[in-house]
C-alpha cells in the first residue's frame, strides 16, 4: 500500500529515541495556528511511495539507527492507516523500532472499520508521541480548527493497548500557557500507566518565513517565542497535575521521563 509522502529525513534526532529515519507524510486535517509545516496540509499533494522503498532506504544506513529506529510524522500519519500497517509490518519483520508522531485527530472509537485498523496497527507500534495541542475542547477548536474528544480518547486507547506514549505539548505565549489548562493537561495524562515521557516544547517563530514564502497569512505574527525560563515554569505546572493525579490513583510519580529539549519543533 503506497503512502502519500511529503519528504524523508535520514538522520532525525528530535523525532523519538536515538537517531531515526523520519518519514513526513503528506496531508493533515488540523489547522494549528502555529503549524510550521503548512506545506504538509494538502491531502492530495506529495509523492506516492512504497513501504519497501522506505525500508530499503532505512537499511542502507541501519548501523546509524542503533538505539533509534523509524518514525512516521507529518502531516498526520494516522490519516494513512493502511500504509502505516504495511510499513510497520515490514519494519517489525526486520526488528526496527517503530514510532508514530501524531496529533491523534484521526482516531474515532465510534467507527468500527477504522478501529479494526487501529487494532491491527498498535501491536506493530513501539511508541506513540501524542501531541495534545490543548486540553480544553473549545480552545482546542479555536487553536486547531478541530475538536479534541477523539484525541483524548486516543490517549486512553493507547493506555488500554499498553503502547508506550510520550506526550508532547507546545507552549505558546497567550495561547497554550494558561496554568489552569496546563495543570488540567497534567492531571489528565497523569492517569495513564503507558506515559513514558513528557515533552513540553517552546513555541518559536521560525515558521513565519515559511508562511511568507508560501504567500499564506501567519496568524501568530505578533506572538513572541516562549523563553526557556518560562518554559521550565510552565512545564512544572503540567508536572504538578501529573503528580496529583498519580497520588490520587496510587501510582508511582517518577516512572516517566521529563524530556529536556531545547530544540524547537512545530
Q: How far is the CB of 170 from ligand SF4 (least distance, A)?
A: 8
Check: CB of residue 7 under 8 Å from CB of residue 87: no
Residue 216 in the binding site for ligand SF4 (CB under 6 A): no
**Of the two residues 230 and 266, which places its CB atom closer to ligand SF4 in the complex?**
266
β-strand partners of 125: none
Q: How far is the CB of 4 from ligand SF4 (least distance, A)?
A: 14
Q: How far is the CB of 114 from ligand SF4 (least distance, A)?
A: 18
The Cα 258–Cα 39 span in angstroms is 31
Q: H or E stretch including 246?
A: helix 228-248
DSSP per-residue string spanning 124-137:
G-SEEEEE---SSH
Residue 30 in the binding site for ligand SF4 (CB under 6 A): yes
The Cα 21–Cα 58 span in angstroms is 6
How many helices (H) and strands (E) the chain has is answered by 8, 9
Site string for ligand SF4, 49-78 (x = CB under 6 A): -------------------------xxx--
The Cα 4–Cα 83 span in angstroms is 9
First to last CA, the chain: 28
Residue 40 in the binding site for ligand SF4 (CB under 6 A): yes
Residue 31 in the binding site for ligand SF4 (CB under 6 A): yes
Check: CB of residue 143 under 8 Å from CB of residue 176: yes
User: Of residues 28, 121, 167, 231, which one binds ligand SF4 by CB under 6 A?
Assistant: 28
Residue 37 in the binding site for ligand SF4 (CB under 6 A): yes
Residue 103 in the binding site for ligand SF4 (CB under 6 A): yes
Residues 124-153 interacting with ligand SF4 (rule: CB under 6 A): none
Q: How far is the CB of 104 from ligand SF4 (least distance, A)?
A: 9
Check: CB of residue 125 under 8 Å from CB of residue 163: yes
Q: How many residues bind ligand SF4 (CB under 6 A)?
A: 12
Where do contacts with ligand SF4 occur on this chain (CB under 6 A)? Answer: 28, 30-32, 35, 37, 40, 74-76, 103, 266
Amino acid at each position: 500500500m503506497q503512502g502519500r509522502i511529503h519528504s524523508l529525513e535520514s538522520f532525525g534526532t528530535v523525532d523519538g529515541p536515538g537517531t531515526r529515519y523520519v518519514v513526513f507524510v503528506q496531508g493533515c486535517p488540523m489547522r494549528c495556528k502555529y503549524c510550521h509545516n503548512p506545506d504538509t496540509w494538502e491531502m492530495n499533494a506529495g509523492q506516492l511511495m512504497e513501504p519497501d522503498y522506505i525500508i530499503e532506504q532505512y537499511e542502507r544506513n541501519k548501523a546509524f539507527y542503533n538505539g533509534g529506529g523509524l518514525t512516521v510524522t507529518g502531516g498526520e500519519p494516522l490519516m494513512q492507516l493502511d500504509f502505516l500497517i504495511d510499513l510497520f509490518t515490514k519494519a517489525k519483520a526486520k526488528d526496527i523500532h517503530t514510532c508514530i508522531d501524531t496529533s491523534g485527530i484521526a482516531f474515532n472509537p465510534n467507527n468500527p472499520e477504522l478501529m479494526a485498523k487501529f487494532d491491527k496497527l498498535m501491536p506493530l507500534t513501539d511508541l506513540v508521541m501524542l501531541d495534545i495541542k490543548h486540553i480544553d475542547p473549545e480552545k482546542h477548536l479555536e487553536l486547531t480548527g478541530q475538536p479534541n474528544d477523539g484525541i483524548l480518547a486516543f490517549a486512553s486507547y493507547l493506555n488500554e493497548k499498553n503502547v508506550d506514549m510520550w506526550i508532547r505539548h507546545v507552549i505558546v505565549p497567550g495561547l497554550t500557557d494558561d496554568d489552569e489548562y496546563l495543570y488540567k493537561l497534567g492531571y489528565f495524562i497523569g492517569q495513564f500507566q503507558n506515559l513514558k515521557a513528557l515533552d513540553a516544547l517552546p513555541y518559536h517563530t521560525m515558521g513565519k518565513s515559511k508562511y511568507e514564502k508560501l504567500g499564506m497569512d501567519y496568524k501568530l505574527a505578533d506572538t513572541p517565542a516562549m523563553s526557556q525560563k518560562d518554559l521550565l515554569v510552565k512545564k512544572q505546572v503540567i508536572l504538578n497535575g501529573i503528580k496529583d493525579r498519580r497520588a490520587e490513583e496510587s501510582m508511582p510519580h517518577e516512572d516517566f521521563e521529563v524530556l529536556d529539549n531545547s530544540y524547537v519543533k512545530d
